[in-house]
Amino acid sequence: MYLNDKIIYPILDYDFCKNEKIDLFKFVESWQKFPNLFSFYQFRAKSLNQIDYKKYYLELKNKFSIPIIINDQFEIAISENAFGLHLGKEDFISMSKNEKTKLSQSDFILKGTSSHTIEDLKDLDSKLWDYSGFGPMNPTKSKLSEYKILTKEDLVFAIENFKIKIVPIGGINSDNFQNYFFRNKTIPAMISGLKDENFISNLLDFL
């Protein structure tokens, strides 16, 4: 329900905002003008420790009504009964058996993970995960990655051969968005492109 009719997966990246001198809270405030587009977002902050991450998360949660998917911080997601949790492939692999049990029994509305190859997608438990971030599709400055850039052919193959919702990620912006948007089949993730309010307004045409 939360993914099937959506056209964009917004990521609020703390480090990107800091480097670009973007006010984190004004950024989210601008999204509230488009409730049909921004029905949830992921909060990612790789440079923050757990205490600071939780502080920002709670402030965002209390200030705005848009549900938040927590990135990586499993303990915070569990303790706060978060809307959703996104775990990178490596983060999930390193979890203890007890943590994986907690995850499978959790009440998160959305649970997502990362895939960097077609083989990664084959290994996913479709009963556990609601979606998989699939990328990088392009080079990106918002997250350093050692993984090979995926092709549009890889994306089409993933869409056609796996039931899990595919979230293309990595360097997706206002210029290339349509290359990764397949209605009801993909929900592209965006970071830098969400600075452009004109582009956001134009996304309404896809609804």
pLDDT at 104 over 80: yes
Counts for the chain of helices (H) and strands (E), in that order: 9, 8
Position of tokens 């939360």?
A: 2
Strand pairing report for 68-71 and 84-87: parallel
Question: C-alpha 39: how far from its chain's center?
Answer: 12
Is 126 or 77 the better-scoring residue by pLDDT? Answer: 77
As a whole number, mean pLDDT of residues 111-138 equals 96
pLDDT at 144 over 70: no
**Mean pLDDT, residues 191-203:** 87
With a cut of 90, say whether residue 98 has pLDDT above it: yes
Work out the burial of residue 78: count CB atoms within 10 Å of its CB; fewer than 13 is exposed, 13-18 middle, 19 or more buried: middle
How confident is the model over 147-159, as a mean pLDDT? 96
Give the C-alpha separation, 41 to 82, whole Å: 12
Residue 52's φ and ψ, nearest 5 degrees, are -70, -35
CA 71, 3, 163, 150 torsion-angle sign: negative
Domains of the chain by range and CATH? 9-206 (3.20.20.70)
Please check the confidence at residue 21 and state whether its pLDDT lies above 80.
Answer: yes
pLDDT of 36 > 80? The answer is yes
